[in-house]
Structure formats: C-alpha cells, structure tokens
C-alpha cells in the first residue's frame, strides 16, 4: 500500500525511476506476505527447504562464495567535512559517493521486484525507537528484515505520523566485489548499499542504521547507540539487574545474552533474561539512570560453535522457523556446522563434503530468527521505556595480560577501558583472522563519526545528577603457556556477573590495582568448578611490566585521534600510567613483575 506521506512516496517514485523495476511491492509484514516470499524463493533457488520433520519452517540460503561477511574496506561514511568521519572510517565526499552509487543503481532492478520495507528499530510505541525504510530488490533481505525488525504496516503508520525516517537503498547488483560499496550519509539520514546480499551489508536496519547512522543521531540527541548485548540477571531474591556488554563481532555476545546458569546457581534460583544480543540504545531517564532498548527484533547469529554446550538456548531458538545462511547439511538435510554432533554430507557451497575444502559450514555462517522464539526472551524487551542498566561491560579476545574481570574506578576510567579495548579479529569481517586490533567499545566498524568526538560524547554523560552504571572489563579468552583457555566460559561466566552485582550492591570489597579492581580472595564463587590450583590467581593477575607496555600502546593509539581526542581521556591514561609507576613492584595478585 503506497504511503500517505508525500516525502516517502516521492522517494519511492524517484528510486523506481532510477532503478526501473518490473514492479514495486510495499511490504506489510503479514504472514501471507512471508509465505508468498518463501514460495517464490524456493522456486528461484534462493532458498532450499531443510528437513521439515526435524526443522519445521527452516530454510537454507547459500550466498555467493565471495559475499560472506561485512566488507569494512568498502564501507564509507560520507560527511560534508572529511574530519567529521574520523580516522576510524573510510570517507568519501557526499557528491562523489552519490554519483558513484546512482550510476550503479541506474536500471539495476530491471525485470525484478522492488520491495519497500518500512521498519521500526525498537518497540513500536517506544520513544527511544527510530524508524527507517529500506528499498531492496532482494526477497532474502525482506525475509530477514521481517525477523530482525518490526517491519510492515505498524512501522509505516508510525513513519507517517512522525514524518521522519532513515532512507536505505539496497541492491544485490551483480555481486561483483569490484562493484560493491556500503555508503552512509549521516547528515542526510541516508544509506546506499550495492553489490552484496550479506546480512551486515544488506539488512540496512542493523549495522548501517542502528549503529552507524544511529550513533550520529545519538551524539546529536544525547543518547548512545552501542554494539552491546543486554541481559537481565535475576538473583534468588527475585531482583533483576540489567547488564549491557560490548564485545567485538563473533566474541560471544549471543552466548552471554542467552546464558544458562551453572547447575548450583539454577538450584539456588538464579535466572537469566535475554533482551538483546548485538545492539543497545541507551538514554538517561528522569532518575539519572541509563535506560536501554534493543532496537532489533531478532537474532542474526554466528552458527559455527553454537552447540548444546556453548548455547543450548540458541539451539532451542533456531529449532524451527529460521533462515540459515551458508551452513552445511547432513545426509538427511538437517543444517550442520562445526561444533554440532553428527557429520556433514554437503558443504556450505553445496559440494559433497571433503575436509580438504576446509570447514563444512562457512566460519561466518549465520541464522536469522525472531527473538520471540528464544526460551529466555524477556517480556521487558517490549517495554517502551527500556530497562535500567546497572553495569556496562567491555571485553575482547585477549590471550594474555587482561584479567578475567576488573572494575573501573569511575566513569572516566571506564571510558578509558572501553576506548582501550583490543581483540583478535574474527571471521565476521573479511581479512586476516586472529590479529590483535584496537576496537574501542567494539565500535571500530560501526561508529558513524570521529572516535575522538565519540569519546567526548561518552564522557559527557558524567554529571548533572547522573546515576551511571558501574563499568567493568572482562576477558573470557585468557590462555596459558600451552595455549589452552584458562577459564571455562559460557554458563560459568555467571560467576563473574555475580561478582559485579555484589560490587554494585556493596557486598564485595575487591582488590584495587592501578588498572582496576579485581575480585579479592574468595569473592569469586568457584564451587562446582574444576579449576586447577593457581588458575584463578593467573586469571586475576596484574602483570606490571606487561601493563606498562599496554598503557604506552594505549597512549599511542589515543594520540592517533589528534586534536579531537578529549584531554580528559589523555589525562586519565597518564594518571593510570603514573599510578603503575608509583606502585611497588610486588603486591600479591595486584602487581607482580
Ligand atoms: C554482526 C557483526 O553480524 O558484528 O553482528 O558482524
Ligand atoms: Mn555485531
């Protein structure tokens, strides 16, 4: 149904005149519409039916083998002033970028259907939610957007009421990596994406809107758009603390968001509630606390490694009505990936499985599913006002140095911890895997403006009656000299979250060190865990010489943001570096060198 909003109608007409589709379809988000799309994709081969006896409503999509991940080198922020995009983004002048993209879009939808997808990021009636419209020629994108956003008639009605929306134009084009660009025009609330059908490049509500454009809007409007999961931890007394955690792509956000408490905790009555697994929008409430919503309505999760051990809730979530992308198949047509029992018969490219060809499932194979199917999905996820955040957690894959957990002294120190975040790269983006890179607040690929300004924005929340959450840093990925993980991770991470809650509620005293406060002896519950003697000491050890080098590296990294680096952050790095110098070389656990 065409829109009553003149600006929307005009943009759709102009886009159709440029791309010249055979027909235009306005998406209403209905079940009948979804069924029709699936039928058409089964006929065209865009979708393959999976074993409906074991996986009802599940389908497989195989992408082009060169189109399997986000392409950061082809992703641009196009601001009038180049400096505004920052050294953390690739930049192109808006006029040049529009001309380049419009040439690619010229006639690109001939013979195809152009879909108009009105969507809302966040609960449909939430003042924190924001709307957009994606125009695409990919029915796979429509089907995914239906799971990932509140898509269709209700979103269109809100857009027509508000008169304001983010414009996203997408075409899969020829899937030629030489003709592939993901362009963002934050000043125009516009996205143009061409040449990729892969999630992060093509589902424009997610990374493009909810992070790159939204981070820009958030800076202007006084809120935060972050690459964070949101999880509720309910203690045996029935009190729930909500925690937002930023980890880089493919570092376990989905696992933490759906954590199953260890046996003893379950017996005691602990419960975990999932609010979101990838994106968090937060703003100060009238009581000074930060309130958060998950702008998404579904999960676009990494399949490999998802198993009964790592994430049984995710497995239950994706047992039906799920779209799988680039997974392998068993002989009886069930989806399969590394980490699951059984054996693959067909690999992600549709070939007979042969170990010589590499993993059976692509390492960045994904599932797309409505969050409502998650057994731990919280009713609060639909709350228009959002949930109050008690703690913000930063973390990455750090095989050495970073302790299992540490707490920042205050907000400024916490912002430094977030800015200093580093992690080994993963398969979620193209490029080398396992290389350490700084990824401030896990937003390196997603912050839509200059990181220096972004750090200032973070610092600006401190003051004026703010009741800010405590900030922590965790590292589930610390290894011993033989390269084995020291910490069991997954459900056992609740032990670390419990310590955080004890700190928030004033029950744990912790042991201070210049780089942060770690759990004091006996504060981290290890009952029921088979940790070899000395492991916990290693996990909580602060190596002074290593930290001195780390602080110097953080200082160099911060300097790379030049004049836009907030002096307060520079001063904080110097304060911590000095405190390390001033501390005696040996304080048990806290300083050992
Ligand atoms: C994602 C990512 O898909 O961060 O969530 O790459
Ligand atoms: Mn992500």
* CA of 70, closest atom in ligand 1: 6
SS3 239: coil
Query: In 108-148, at which residue ranges do the beta strands (DSSP E only) sit?
Result: 113-121, 130-136
What average pLDDT values come out for the chain (593 residues) when binned by 10 residues? 93 98 98 98 98 98 94 96 98 98 98 98 98 98 98 98 98 96 98 95 97 98 98 97 94 95 96 98 97 98 94 97 98 98 98 98 97 98 98 95 97 98 83 86 98 98 94 96 94 98 97 97 95 95 94 97 98 98 64 42
Which ranges of 541-587 does DSSP label H, i.e. alpha helix?
544-559, 567-582
- Write out the two tokens for 2: 């065409």
Neighbours of ion ligand 2 (CB under 5 A): 249, 278
Q: Ligand 1: which residue has its CA nearest to atom 1?
A: 249
The residue whose C-alpha atom lies closest to atom 4 belonging to ligand 1 is 249
Q: Are 12 and 19 in contact (CB under 8 A)?
A: no
Closest approach atom of ligand 1 to CA 248: 4
Predicted pLDDT of residue 435? 80
The residue behind tokens 């509140």 is 150
How close is the Cα of 551 to the center of ligand 2, in Å? 27
Cα 273 to middle of ligand 1, angstroms: 21
Mutate to test the pocket of ligand 1, among 303, 428, 444 (most ligand atoms within 8 A of CB): 428
Task: Please give the backbone phi and psi of residue 479, each rounded to the nearest 5 degrees, phi first.
Answer: -120, 160
- Of the candidates 454, 435, 453, the one whose C-alpha atom is nearest the C-alpha of residue 443 is 454
- In angstroms, the CA 203 to CA 171 distance is 11
Instruction: For residue 443, report the phi and psi dihedrals to the nearest 5 degrees.
Output: -110, 5
What is 379-443 written as a DSSP string? GGGG-TT-EEEEEEEEE---SSSS-SEEE-SSHHHHHHHHHT-EEE--TTBSS-SS-EEE-GGG-
Q: Residue 539's CB: how many other CB atoms inside 10 A?
A: 21
Rg value, the chain, Cα? 24
- pLDDT per position as a tens digit, 519-557: 999 999 999 999 999 999 999 999 999 999 999 999 999
Residue 406 in tokens: 């540490």
Q: Whose CA is nearest to atom 3 of ligand 1?
A: 200
* Rounded-to-integer distance, Cα 333 and Cα 321, Å: 15
Between the CA of 443 and the centroid of ligand 2 the distance, in Å, is: 9
Best mutation site among 75, 229, 249 for ligand 1 pocket (most ligand atoms within 8 Å of CB): 249
User: If you measure from the C-alpha of residue 486 to the centroid of ligand 2, how many angstroms do you get, rounded to a whole number?
Assistant: 25
Q: Which residues line ligand 1 (CB under 6 A)?
A: 70, 200, 249, 278, 300, 428
CB-CB contact of 429 with 69 (8 Å): yes
Distance 249 CA to ligand 1 centre (A): 5
User: Which ligand 1 atom sits nearest the alpha carbon of residue 227?
Assistant: 4
Active site residues: 251
Kindly write down the DSSP assignment for every residue of 318-341, as one continuous string.
TTSS-EEES-EE-TTS-EE-BTBS
CA 428–ligand 2 middle distance (angstroms): 8
pTM value?
Answer: 0.96
Q: How far apart are CA 548 and CA 311, in angstroms?
A: 37
Ligand 1 atom, smallest distance to 249 CA = 4
Length of the chain: 593
CA torsion 324-325-327-330 (nearest 10°) is 50
Q: Is 184 helix (H, G, I), strand (E, B) or coil?
A: strand
Closest atom of ligand 1 relative to the 302 alpha carbon: 3
Backbone φ and ψ of 282, nearest 5°: -130, 145
Q: Are 496 and 524 in contact (CB under 8 A)?
A: yes
Beta bridge partners of 291: 283, 388
């Amino acid at each position: 149904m065409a829109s009553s909003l003149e600006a929307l109608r005009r943009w759709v007409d102009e886009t159709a005149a440029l791309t010249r589709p055979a027909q235009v379809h306005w998406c209403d988000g209905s079940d009948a519409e979804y069924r029709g799309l699936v039928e058409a994709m089964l006929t065209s081969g865009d979708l393959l039916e999976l074993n409906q006896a074991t996986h009802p409503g599940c389908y497989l999509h195989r992408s082009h083998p060169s189109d399997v991940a986000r392409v950061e080198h082809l992703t641009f922020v196009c601001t009038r002033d180049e400096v505004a995009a920052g050294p953390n983004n690739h930049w192109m002048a808006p006029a040049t970028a529009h001309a380049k993209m419009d040439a690619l879009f010229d006639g690109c939808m001939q013979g195809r259907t152009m879909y108009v997808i009105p969507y809302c990021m966040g609960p449909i009636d939430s003042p924190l939610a924001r709307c957009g419209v994606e125009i695409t020629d990919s029915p796979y994108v429509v089907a995914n957007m239906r799971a990932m956003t509140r898509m269709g008639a209700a979103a269109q009605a809100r857009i027509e009421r508000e008169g304001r929306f983010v414009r996203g134009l997408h075409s899969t084009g020829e899937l030629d990596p030489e003709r592939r660009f993901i362009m963002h025009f934050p000043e125009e609330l516009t996205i143009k994406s061409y040449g990729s059908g892969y999630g992060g490049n093509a589902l424009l509500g997610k990374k493009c809107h909810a992070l790159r454009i939204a981070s820009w809007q958030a800076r202007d409007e006084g809120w935060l758009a972050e690459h964070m999961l949101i999880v509720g931890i309910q203690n045996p007394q029935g009190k729930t603390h909500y925690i937002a955690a930023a980890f880089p792509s493919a570092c376990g956000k989905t696992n933490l968001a759906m954590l199953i408490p260890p046996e003893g905790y379950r017996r005691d009555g602990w419960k975990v509630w999932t609010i979101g697994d990838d994106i968090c929008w937060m703003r100060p409430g009238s009581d000074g606390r930060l309130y958060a919503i998950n702008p998404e309505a579904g999960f676009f999760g990494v399949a490999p490694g998802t198993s009964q051990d790592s994430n049984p809730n995710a497995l239950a979530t994706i047992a039906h009505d799920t779209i799988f992308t680039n997974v392998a198949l068993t002989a009886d047509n069930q989806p399969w990936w590394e980490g699951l029992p059984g054996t693959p018969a067909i690999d992600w490219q549709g070939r007979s499985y042969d170990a010589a060809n590499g993993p059976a499932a692509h390492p960045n194979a994904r599932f797309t599913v409505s969050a409502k199917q998650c057994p731990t999905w919280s009713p609060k996820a639909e709350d228009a006002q959002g949930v109050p955040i008690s703690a913000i957690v930063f973390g990455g894959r750090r095989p050495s140095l970073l302790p299992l957990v540490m707490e920042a002294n205050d907000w400024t120190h916490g912002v430094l911890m977030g800015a200093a975040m580093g992690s080994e790269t993963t398969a979620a983006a193209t490029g080398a895997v396992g290389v350490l890179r700084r990824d401030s607040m896990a937003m390196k690929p997603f912050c839509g403006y200059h990181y220096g300004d972004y750090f200032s924005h973070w610092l600006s929340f401190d003051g004026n009656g703010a009741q800010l959450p405590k900030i922590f840093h965790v590292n589930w990925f610390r290894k011993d000299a033989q390269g084995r993980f020291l910490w069991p991770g997954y459900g056992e991470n609740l032990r670390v979250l419990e310590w955080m809650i004890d700190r928030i509620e004033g029950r744990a005293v912790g042991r201070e060190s210049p780089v942060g406060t770690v759990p004091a002896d006996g504060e981290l519950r290890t009952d029921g865990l088979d940790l070899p003697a000395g492991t916990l000491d290693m996990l909580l050890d602060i190596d002074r010489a290593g930290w001195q080098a780390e602080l110097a590296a953080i200082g160099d990294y911060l300097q790379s943001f030049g004049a836009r680096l907030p002096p307060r952050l520079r001063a904080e790095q110097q304060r911590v570096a000095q405190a390390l110098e001033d501390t005696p070389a040996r304080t048990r656990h806290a300083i050992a060198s």
